A and B are shown apart, each in its own frame.
Chain A
Amino acid sequence: MENIIEERIKKHITENDVVLYMKGTAAFPMCGFSAATVQILSQLAVPFQDFNVLEDADIRQGIKDFSNWPTIPQLYIKGEFIGGCDIVREMYETGELQEFLQEKDVPFNTTAQTA
């Protein structure tokens, strides 16, 4: 059973440049940490695919095993695990996230001001 879930995740994070596994959806986040991460991505105008783990128990647990990371949200850029809310926020504030997006040529709004 395990690798079917792993295959689904791998397919998902390779077919989409930016994927946010979160509680709720980008339009209706259901947890503060997920909402904060959505806000950072929106401020940078990064197009991303949201995935509501509340609607898929297999992925909700599978993604934690896949990245060896115990919490949601989880951000993936070009198939790479970036981190949860704390790390994404820190990277955004230091400009590291913007640099990474540039390096991976993912489009974003370069004039966005940090909070």
Chain B
Amino acid sequence: MAMNAEDIERMILTGIENSEVRIEDLRGDGEHYAAYVSSPSFEGMPRIQQHQMVYAALKGKMGGELHALQLHTSVKN
């Protein structure tokens, strides 16, 4: 069961306050994406925590339906 880019974008946008999200489909198989997420709420947060926030926004999909997500986080893009 794969995921589409719009679902990933919507979940991250709703999960992380005033974030900006860009999703890149790496292989067209619905399982390998890159996500560029920026949000002021990442300010002062170690990278691991920033990534954990994105995974939390994806509510358990990461590693299940969503096999691979190359993640790039920043405070502002």
Known: A87-B47, A87-B48, A87-B51. A70 touches B62 (CB 8 A): yes
Known: A64-B63, A68-B52, A71-B63. A83 touches B47 (CB 8 A): yes
Interface size bracket, A side: 10 to 19
User: Does B2 sit within 8 A of A, measured CB to CB?
Assistant: no
A33, B32: Cα distance in complex, Å: 11
Q: How many A-B residue pairs have CB under 8 A?
A: 32
Residues of A within 8 A of B63 (CB): 64, 70-71
A84, B62: Cα distance in complex, Å: 13
A66, B54: Cα distance in complex, Å: 18
**Shortest Cβ gap from B23 to chain A (Å):** 15
Q: Which residue of B lies closest to A96 (CB)?
A: B47
Please, what's the 1-or-0 string for B44-77, where 1 marks a CB less than 8 Å from any CB in chain A? 0001100110010000101100001011100000
Contact check, B70 vs A86: say whether CB atoms are below 8 A apart. yes
Contact check, B55 vs A69: say whether CB atoms are below 8 A apart. yes
Q: Which residue of A lies closest to B52 (CB)?
A: A68
Residues of A within 8 A of B62 (CB): 70-71
Contact check, A33 vs B51: say whether CB atoms are below 8 A apart. no
**Shortest Cβ gap from A96 to chain B (Å):** 9
